[in-house]
Amino acid sequence: MAFENRTELKASAKRSLPGAVPAGPVEPGENVQVTVYIRRKAAEPPIPTTAAIKPHMSHQQIGETHGADQADIDLIERFAHEYQLTVVSASLAKRRVILQGTAEAMMNAFGTKLECYTLPGTSHQFRGRTGTLSLPAELAGVVTAVLGLDNRPAAKPHFRPRQASPTSFTPPQVAQLYNFPSGLTGKGQTVAIIELGGGYKAADLTAYFQSLGTPVPTVTAVSVDGGSNKPGGQADGEVLLDIEVIGAIATGANLAVYFAPNTDAGFLDAVTTTIHDTSNKPSIISISWGAPEDSWTQQSQNAMNAALQDAAAVGVTVTVAAGDNGSSDGVTDGKLHVDFPASSPYVLACGGTTLAGSNGKISSEVVWNEIANNEGATGGGVSALFPIPAYQNSAGVPVQPQTNFAGRGVPDVAGDADPSTGYQVRVDGKNQVIGGTSAVAPLWAALVARMNEKLGTPVGFLNPKLYKLSSSVFHDITSGNNDDSGLGNYSAKPGWDPCTGLGTPNGTALLNALASSASGASGGTHSGTERTPISGDQPNYSASDHWSALSSAETTPVTATVILRRNHPDLGEDLLSGKAPRLTREQAAAVLGAKQEDIQEARKFAAQYGLTVAEDNQSARTLKLQGTARQMQDAFGVQLGWVSDGSGSRYLSHKGHISVPKNLAGKVAAVLGLDLRPIARHRSGAV
C-alpha cells in the first residue's frame, strides 16, 4: 500500500515559544490550512552578479524552468487524498500546494501533535507544535517545507511611534535631504507592500496626501490566505507608514498592499504571491516585518530565501527593514542576532540613522541608537546562517564576533529611522510622527521606483550593483553604534559597517551611476555572455529630435525582425562579376535563403530572452520576434525610448549599438524594428 513507510522532514524541527502557556489540545475537527512547498524541477535560477543592469528571467521562464514538476504536484495530490485532505490550490511557478483538512487529519498526515497555547502577557491563543514533522517515504526530497500547522505570530512590524518630536520631516523632505532625483514620480511602476496585520482607511489617505499637496495614489488591497484590510489595530501604524512614505515620494506609482495572516505560512505565501503576481506586476516589494533568525524553522527560512531568490531572478527589488532592537535584535540571551528576512542575501537590508537637516541639506547624521530613551536602535550585524555573499567579499564584513562565522553582513544601506527625527504621517484619523527601520524599507522602495522610471527598466536585484559603485553615491555614516546590550558590538566606520551598511542614499548620484552602468553594458546584456555589435545600426538624430526613456518597458510591446546571412554569402559578388550560374526557383531559394542551423540558433537566442518567434521564413532569411521593450533591450543590448521630432510626432527608437551574443556573430545581418522613425518623407508640392 502506498504512503505506508514514513521519514522525517528535514529542517522541520520547531521549538516551543518561550513563555507560552499550554491551553489544552486542539479540537480534532478544527479546520487547518497548510502550505506545502516543493523542490525545483531544475537548478536554482541564475542571479545577476555584476554592476551593470542585466536582463531578468520572465515569470513564464522561471515557472517553466525553475518551478515545480507536475509529477511532484500530482504526487502531493495523491498523498492529500490518502489522508482525507482537500487540495485548495496548486502552483507550478510558486512551487506550492495549499491543503485543507481537520486538525486530526493533519496530525496523521504530517506525524505531529497540535496543542493550543496562550501568548505571554496576552489572551491571544495560537495553535502550536514542537519537534519534527514526518512524511511518507515517497515524498522524501520532494517536499521542502510544510507551513501553517503552527500559527504562532511569525514576525513583528519594525516601526516606532513618537507622540511628540522635536524634529520631524514629511517623506518628501526626507527625499530632498537624500537628493532623490527630481522630476520623477515612479510612473509605470507598481510597488508591493507586505502587511501581516492592520489596515488603512481611504479617508486617512485622502486627508494625508491632500495636506502634502500630492495626488492620492492608487492603492489596491490584495488578500492572501484570508488576510484583509482591517484597520483599527496597532499594526495600522505600520500599514499607513508604508503607504504614505512610498505614496508621498513615488507619487505616480501604483501601490498594491498584500494582507496575510501573521504566521510563517502567511508571510511566505504573501511573498510568493507578490513575486508571481502577473496581474499587478510589482517591480519592487517593501517588507517592514521580521523576526530574529533563530526564531524561524530552517524549513521556513529555506523556503522564504528560495522565494526571494525567485524575486532576484525575475528582476524584482525587495527592500526589507533590518529591525529596531540593536545588535541583539531584542533577544535577551546575551548573544548577537540579526533579523530575517533582512539577512537573506537576496534582499536590500535597510538600517537606520538619526538625521538632522533643513532646506534640503543634511547637517548631521549618525547611527540610530536611542536605547537609553527606550526608543530603539537600528538592527544590524552578521548572519549566523547565511555565508557572506560574493558581492560583499570586498566590503570588509567582519566575522561574527561570538562564533567566527563569515556570514552575510546586515544591513546593506540605511536611512532616517529615529522616531525623534521621524516621519510625519496620519494614522486612524490622527497626525503622528513615526520612525523605525520600517520607514527605511519604503523610503528605498520609493527611490527605486523613481530610478526604474528614469532607466526604463527595473534595476532588479540591486546588491551586486551597489557594492561596486563609488562611495560618492552614499552618505557614509561614520559615527555611532547599535550596541543595545553592552556587548560592544557594533560601531560605525568609514565604508560598510554593521550599523548602516554602505550608508544613506545620494539619490541622484546613485541613479546616474546605475545609468552609466547600463550604458556601459549597452543597455543590458545577458549575464556572462560575450556580445558583438551589428555593423551600421547606430541611429542618427537631428538637433530637433528629443529623446525620452520608456516609462513602462515591462508592458510596452515591441516587434523586431532579425535578418540572417545568406546560405551562399558570395552570391552578390558572383552576380556582379557574371560568374553566377542560372538557377531554378528552388535552387535560388536554397542559395539565397538562410541556413537551417542559423534559424535554430536564432530561435534559441529568442527563447533565452523570453521572446516569441511569431514567424520565420527561411527563404526571406527573417525571424519576426515579439516581446516587451525590456526583453528587447536585454536581447539586443540597447536602451529603447521615444524620439519626438520637430513636428511633435513620436517614434520608438534606441540608444547604443545593437548587439547579439557572440555565437550569432556573422549569422545575424541586421535587426529591424527597434528604430521606427520614418526612413523617407512623402514629397509633394504645387507645380
Could you read off the pLDDT of 577-628 as tens digits, one per residue? 555 555 555 655 555 788 888 998 899 888 878 788 888 888 888 999 998 8
Mean pLDDT computed over 229-240? 97
Predicted local confidence at residue 376, as pLDDT = 96
Percent of the chain predicted with pLDDT > 90: 70
Q: Output the CA–CA distances (angstroms, integers) from residue 419 to 26, 264, 471, 564, 672, in the order listed.
A: 41, 29, 27, 62, 55
- Given pLDDT bands bounded at 50, 70 and 90, which one contains residue 277? very high
Packing angle, helices 298-313 and 59-66, rounded to 10: 130
The DSSP call for residue 595 is: -
Predicted local confidence at residue 606, as pLDDT = 87
From 168, 344, 438, 659, the catalytic residue? 438
Q: What is the mean pLDDT of the chain?
A: 90
Predicted local confidence at residue 591, as pLDDT = 57
Could you read off the pLDDT of 525-535 as tens digits, one per residue? 344 457 788 87
- Is a pLDDT exceeding 70 seen at residue 202? yes
CATH of domain 156-516: 3.40.50.200
Three-state DSSP class for residue 575: helix
Phi, psi of 175 (to 5 degrees): -60, -40
Q: Which residue reads 546605475 in cell numbers?
A: 514
Mean pLDDT computed over 495-520? 91
- Measured between alpha carbons, how far is 246 from 239 in angstroms, rounded to an integer? 11
Mean pLDDT computed over 316-333? 97
Pick from 602, 628, 626, 608: nearest CA to 46: 608
Phi, psi of 552 (to 5 degrees): -145, 60
Our answer to whether residue 242 is catalytic in this structure is yes
Mean pLDDT computed over 326-332? 97
Global pTM reads 0.78
HSE, side-chain direction, 13 A CA sphere, residue 469: 30
- Is a pLDDT exceeding 70 seen at residue 686? no
Could you read off the pLDDT of 99-152 as tens digits, one per residue? 999 999 999 999 999 999 998 888 889 999 999 999 999 999 999 999 999 999
- Measured between alpha carbons, how far is 337 from 377 in angstroms, rounded to an integer? 13
The answer to whether residues 469 and 451 touch, using CB atoms and an 8 Å cutoff, is no
- Is a pLDDT exceeding 80 seen at residue 539? no
Our answer to whether residue 4 is catalytic in this structure is no
Pick from 468, 528, 459: nearest CA to 496: 468
Predicted local confidence at residue 682, as pLDDT = 37
Predicted local confidence at residue 527, as pLDDT = 41
From 238, 310, 497, 675, the catalytic residue? 238
- Is a pLDDT exceeding 90 seen at residue 556? no
Predicted local confidence at residue 575, as pLDDT = 43
Predicted local confidence at residue 571, as pLDDT = 47
Pick from 465, 338, 326: nearest CA to 405: 338
Cell reading at 385:
546562517
- Is a pLDDT exceeding 50 seen at residue 233? yes
Higher pLDDT: 271 or 59? It is 271
Higher pLDDT: 170 or 676? It is 170
Least confident of 10-24, 154-168, 322-336, 395-409: 154-168
E strand spans, 254-390: 254-259, 284-287, 289-292, 317-321, 339-340, 348-358, 361-367, 381-387
- Measured between alpha carbons, how far is 625 from 668 in angstroms, rounded to an integer? 13
Packing angle, helices 440-455 and 507-520, rounded to 10: 40
Question: In sequence order, which residues have a C-beta less than 8 Å from that of residue 662 and are 6 or more positions away?
Answer: 529, 530, 531, 532
Cell reading at 452:
526604474
- Measured between alpha carbons, how far is 352 from 424 in angstroms, rounded to an integer? 17
Mean pLDDT computed over 187-205? 98
Predicted local confidence at residue 684, as pLDDT = 34
Predicted local confidence at residue 521, as pLDDT = 47
From 242, 294, 453, 601, the catalytic residue? 242
Pick from 116, 77, 122: nearest CA to 96: 77
Our answer to whether residue 115 is catalytic in this structure is no
E strand spans, 324-460: 339-340, 348-358, 361-367, 381-387, 407-410, 413-416, 423-427, 430-435
**Segments making up each domain of the chain, as ranges:** 6-147, 156-516, 531-672
Predicted local confidence at residue 585, as pLDDT = 55
Could you read off the pLDDT of 423-474 as tens digits, one per residue? 999 999 999 999 999 999 999 999 999 999 999 999 999 999 999 998 999 9
Mean pLDDT computed over 58-85? 94
Question: In sequence order, which residues have a C-beta less than 8 Å from that of residue 455 and are 6 or more positions away?
Answer: 53, 511, 514, 515, 518, 549
